[in-house]
Amino acid sequence: MTNLALLALVLLVVLPVGLPIFRLNMVAKYLTYAFVALGLVMLWGKAGVLSLGQGVFFGLGGYCMAMFLKLEASDPVSTKIQSTPGIPDFMDWNQITHLPAFWVPFKSLPFSLFAVIAVPTLAAFVVGLAMFKRRVGGVYFAVITQALALILSLAIDSRQGYTGGRNGITDLKTLWGWDIRTHHAQYILYFVTCVLLLAAILFSQWLLSGKTGKMLLAMRDREDRVRFSGYDVSMFKVATFCFAAALSGLGGALFVLQVGFISPSLVGIVPSIEMVIFCAVGGRTSLYGAIYGTLLVNTGKSLFSENFPQLWLFAMGGLFIAVVVLFPDGLAGLFELGRKKLKPWMEKTRNKPSLPVGLPGTVAKGDQP
Amino acid sequence: MIFAYSPAELWSIFVMQGFAGLSLFSVLLLMALGLAIIFGQMGVVNLAHGEFMALGAYTVYLCSTLVANHAPKLQPYYFVIAIIVAFLVAALAGLLVEWSLIRFLYKRPLDTLLATWGLSLIMQQSFRSIFGAREVTPTLPEWLMGSFKPTPNIDIPINGVFVMGLTLLLAFGVWLFMYRSRIGLQMRATVQNRTMSGAVGINTKLVDRFTFSLGCGIAGVAGAAFTTIGSTGPDSGSRYIVDTFLVVVFGGASSLLGTIASAFGIAQGQSILEFFLEGTAGKVAILLTIVIVLMIRPKGLFPGKIRTA
């Protein structure tokens, strides 16, 4: 509970009060990445499946939302200078004269909101089913998810008429009449993002607290034993994969609302691997760690890019290596280490003998929510 | 699409696309050979492999500038020596990387993935800082320019033939080395059963180091070969890394023959599809096909029969 209270305090009070709206909007953007990192904690930290293609689901959710917003911004009145008014500008440039069939359902807000969660989940279901049923895991799975990220970014890139191509979908203005570009709107969207993020954490904790949590843990550490005990390991993995995809899709949609555009550069290999590093820096088994990790790495990225652009990639590369070699449990691990060192000291000052770790009644190493 | 062309035109198209495909095949195979050794034999996922390739290319560029500035008379002869230098530089870099980073991560393939990605970022930025962000090309010797013209419709570039020849030579060399030499035997033994190899006196740590640097050296040669068909920039390495991994995984990671077969199939498939489906759509189609096949047959076309116990 204290973790939750602390995070809520930081997100809902400290940051909005302490930062100007420009910086707060950047933090909001980082928080949308945090959704992906959260999904990765569930998928990688708890279930043991590394996916290097979460950008795919982030992008799918983002594009669904962007398509709705773009259609709204391309009403016949504002596009009357185009040769075909009423369709998005990039379709006009590509001599497309009517809205392609798969764009038409996105005229409705309920459908778009549904699609933001449903499309990534469906994609994850198909891919996950095909791979986990065949027991593709580990490195092979990671490479295939990378390939999927590449495929989607290339596919979007190559069809400028249908998807906006490399430029992506830009010039988004209003959400059902409400202008999303004003400062006021940005504050509201920030708080909506925070609340949704906290809700996602609570939901994940609830999932982990029951039988599912134990199952995921068991699957991560001794998959064959779980299988021999009669459980369907592949369906659990598919379900976790879908959950991570849904979270990423939600993050993508919130990203589009706050940043105002989406492009294939957020879908490909590089952003997908970066999202893994956000999760790893925070501590791959820690839900709260994912949030802090994302905020930390992205803040570092902005600071470096603004002040020492040449050094940024060195720092990022070094961070990858350091996280893997030196502190595999990330920030959460360091935090736990600090707590353990402090505990005997605190116990001593209260004149109570401290129990060594591992006996019943003490906190076991490893799984902190 | 296909039917819009006459049979003579179709024949010329297939021959030219076939050669373009063979060119792509040699590119993919050169990259995949090094990676197959590192990934297939050692289980290390080296996402920095493309950067070792770029290192080889930049080495050739450096040799070219050095020769142009200090010994212009050597211009026609330097290229072959530059390729050998590229091999040595890349292999040395691989040795350094193995000693400082990879050897801590042998039991953790997913971690090698992340760590080598970080390494690739560092290497890319180093290239950018040292050589600049623009693409560079070494001055290629005269005998590599131009093309053969067996018939008026068919145009076969000489550098494509050179790269193909180099690839076949290298593939043969690797096969000879792995299956007919003492060190190759030690490499295979270490991969198949590390404990027993150690017990019979093979220094497995040294063998690992050597294997990794050999793989990187081959990547360096690949980079040198690429200078004949394209320019080199800081991110040239990352352009082909996913394709290379797919080639290796598709062929069955532990089989050299599989790597060759899959590189050939993928290259030709992509080349032909690219012509009829315009550019990127062809690549997307081929990638999708590979992924679908991998979902059906995850171990690739020629899976090894090695027990991993």
Give dist(CA A140, CA A50) in Å, integer.
Answer: 10
Under the banding of pLDDT at 50, 70 and 90, the label for residue B275 is confident
Kindly list the distances between the CA atom of residue B197 and the CA atoms of A201, B42, B44, B253, B308, in Å, as whole numbers in the listed order: 49, 14, 19, 21, 14
Q: Check residue A46 and report its DSSP letter.
A: I
Beta strands per DSSP E along chain B: 147-148, 156-157
> What pLDDT does residue B270 have?
82
What is the average pLDDT across A316-325?
86
ipTM of the complex: 0.81
Is residue B114 pLDDT above 50, yes or no?
Answer: yes
Is residue B106 pLDDT above 90, yes or no?
Answer: no
The structural domain count of chain A equals: 1
Domain membership flag for residue A145:
yes
Domain membership flag for residue A66:
yes
Under the banding of pLDDT at 50, 70 and 90, the label for residue A369 is low
Q: B281 — contact with chain A (CB < 8 Å)?
A: yes
> Who contacts A299 (Cβ-Cβ below 8 Å, separation ≥6)?
A30
> What pLDDT does residue A311 have?
83
Kindly list the distances between the CA atom of residue B259 and the CA atoms of A330, B43, B44, B245, B246, in Å, as whole numbers in the listed order: 37, 15, 17, 10, 10
pTM score, two decimals? 0.85
> What pLDDT does residue B3 have?
62
Q: B133 — contact with chain A (CB < 8 Å)?
A: no
Most confident residue range from A10-19, A269-278, B244-253: A269-278
Question: Do B111 and A158 count as a contact with CB atoms less than 8 A apart?
Answer: no
Is residue B25 pLDDT above 60, yes or no?
Answer: yes
The model's pLDDT over A252-266, given as tens digits with 9 standing for 90+, comes to 999 999 998 898 988
In degrees and rounded to multiples of 5, residue A41 shows phi and psi of -60, -45
* Domain interval for residue B241: 2-296
8 A C-beta contact, residue B100 and residue B118: no
Under the banding of pLDDT at 50, 70 and 90, the label for residue B163 is confident
* Domain interval for residue A239: 2-328
In this complex, the residue of A158, A269, A273 whose CB is nearest that of residue B281 is A158
In this complex, the residue of B115, B124, B295 whose CB is nearest that of residue A324 is B115
> What pLDDT does residue A158 have?
82
The structural domain count of chain B equals: 1
In this complex, the residue of A142, A146, A321 whose CB is nearest that of residue B118 is A321
The model's pLDDT over A196-218, given as tens digits with 9 standing for 90+, comes to 999 999 999 998 888 888 888 88
Q: List the structure tokens of A183.
A: 């400062």
Question: Do B295 and A321 count as a contact with CB atoms less than 8 A apart?
Answer: no
What is the average pLDDT across A128-135?
87
Under the banding of pLDDT at 50, 70 and 90, the label for residue B307 is very low
Is residue B264 pLDDT above 60, yes or no?
Answer: yes
**In chain B, whose CA is at the least distance from the CA of A139?**
B110
**In chain B, whose CA is at the least distance from the CA of A138?**
B110
Beta strands per DSSP E along chain A: 174-175, 178-179
Q: Check residue B232 and report its DSSP letter.
A: B
Q: Check residue A179 and report its DSSP letter.
A: E
What is the average pLDDT across A89-109?
82
Mean pLDDT of chain A: 85
Most confident residue range from A59-68, A133-142, B107-116, B161-170: A59-68
- Identify all chain B residues contacting A280, using CB atoms and an 8 Å cutoff: 114
Q: Is B151 helix (H, G, I), strand (E, B) or coil?
A: coil
- Chain A: nearest CA to B280, how far in angstroms? 6
> What pLDDT does residue A217 have?
87
> What pLDDT does residue B309 have?
36
CATH of the domain at B34: 1.10.3470
Is residue A63 pLDDT above 90, yes or no?
Answer: yes
Is residue A363 pLDDT above 60, yes or no?
Answer: no
- Choice between A60 and A2, residue whose per-residue pLDDT is larger: A60
Kindly list the distances between the CA atom of residue A51 and the CA atoms of A41, A106, B288, in Å, as whole numbers in the listed order: 11, 29, 18
Long-range contacts, A300-309 (Cβ 8 Å, 24+)? A302/A26
> What pLDDT does residue A349 have?
67
What is the average pLDDT across A147-175?
85
In this complex, the residue of B113, B120, B283 whose CB is nearest that of residue A154 is B283
> What pLDDT does residue A179 have?
82
In this complex, the residue of A142, A144, A158 whose CB is nearest that of residue B284 is A158
> What pLDDT does residue B31 have?
85
Domain membership flag for residue B12:
yes
Q: Check residue A42 and report its DSSP letter.
A: I
> What pLDDT does residue B132 have?
85
> What pLDDT does residue A81 have?
78
What is the average pLDDT across B189-213?
87
What interhelical angle do A183-209 and A211-221 show, nearest 10? 80
Give the burial string for B199-231 (b: 16+ CB within 10 Å, else e).
Answer: eeebebeebbbbbbbbbbbbbbbbbbbbbbbee
- Choice between B154 and A110, residue whose per-residue pLDDT is larger: A110
Which of A43, A136, A139, A267 would you mutate first to test chain B, the one with the most B CBs within 10 A? A139
Q: A151 — contact with chain B (CB < 8 Å)?
A: yes
What is the average pLDDT across B289-297?
83
- Chain B: nearest CA to A93, how far in angstroms? 19
Give dist(CA A67, CA A133) in Å, integer.
Answer: 33
Is residue B138 pLDDT above 80, yes or no?
Answer: yes
Domain membership flag for residue A364:
no
Under the banding of pLDDT at 50, 70 and 90, the label for residue B51 is very high
What is the average pLDDT across A83-111?
82
Q: B148 — contact with chain A (CB < 8 Å)?
A: no
Most confident residue range from A282-286, B115-119, B160-164, B300-304: B115-119
Is residue A92 pLDDT above 60, yes or no?
Answer: yes
Under the banding of pLDDT at 50, 70 and 90, the label for residue B308 is very low
Question: Do B105 and A324 count as a contact with CB atoms less than 8 A apart?
Answer: yes
- Identify all chain A residues contacting B244, using CB atoms and an 8 Å cutoff: none
Is residue B55 pLDDT above 90, yes or no?
Answer: yes
> What pLDDT does residue A119 have?
94
Domain membership flag for residue B281:
yes
Is residue B212 pLDDT above 80, yes or no?
Answer: yes
Domain membership flag for residue B140:
yes
Is residue A355 pLDDT above 60, yes or no?
Answer: no
What is the average pLDDT across B184-202?
87
Is residue A359 pLDDT above 60, yes or no?
Answer: no
Chain B from 254 to 273: CB within 8 A of any A CB = none
> What pLDDT does residue A354 have?
53
Domain membership flag for residue B7:
yes
Domain membership flag for residue A248:
yes
8 A C-beta contact, residue A37 and residue A293: yes
Residue located via tokens 């760690």: A289
Domain membership flag for residue A306:
yes
What is the average pLDDT across A49-72?
91
